[in-house]
Amino acid sequence: CVSLLVGLEDIKKGAEGSPAKASLVENFPSVLETLRENKLPVTWSMVFGLDNHTPDTFLEAAAFIQEHKIDVNCHLIQPRHGTEFREKLIQQGRLVSDDSRQRDGVHLTYEPFRMTREQTLAGYIWLKDKINSSGFLAERFKSNYQVGGIRYASALASIGLAADWVTAQRMKRMYPELKSEIQKYERLWSGRKG
């Protein structure tokens, strides 16, 4: 096993979802410590574009990832057939496309609730790029190396680069008009850190 994929989904406490996910968020530090003590390599799945998300969600997620030095795989929520989310989007007139080919992680097929489409896509691209930047990667690699050695650390780094960094680069080419919006997130991040 190279890595287990665990659905963290949303780091906001009190967010809608299953009680198990809420418990995971509430007890995240102790769960993470247990996994690391047992040398279990985990990639955490995080979903973005939820109705409770705002532009700050991307900055908060980056801070959470950096604080805990976790490896993540980011996703845009997808309004799949038969889900309450899709039905809600239809009722509210926010479903932009029902084409299943666009539920590919790089297209936004609905109108977000607390963000514009541009803010959502730009924040998503920025986050995927940021968490795979050299500084973030180096911190996680060092932490993972201390937990499980070179194979453990290399496997987790490879998954992040292949899953999120490559997609971020693809999306930057797909959405060149979002360059200034992506730069806004970087300025906010830099101001937050300073």
Q: What is the pLDDT of residues 52-84, one digit of tens each?
A: 999 999 999 999 999 999 999 999 998 988 999
Give the span between the Cα atoms of 113 and 161, in whole angstroms.
30
pLDDT of 3: 87
Entry pTM: 0.93
**Cα torsion for 88, 56, 179, 51, to the nearest 10°?**
0
Q: Select from 3, 152, 172, 171 the least CA-distant residue to 73.
A: 3
- Which of 108, 113, 84 is closest to 174 using CA atoms? 108
| 144-187 per-position pLDDT tens digit | 999 999 999 999 999 999 989 999 999 999 999 999 999 999 99
pLDDT, position 192: 85
pLDDT for 193 equals 58
Question: What's the pLDDT tens digit per position in 8-35?
Answer: 888 887 666 678 888 899 999 999 999 9
Structure tokens of 168?
A: 């971020």
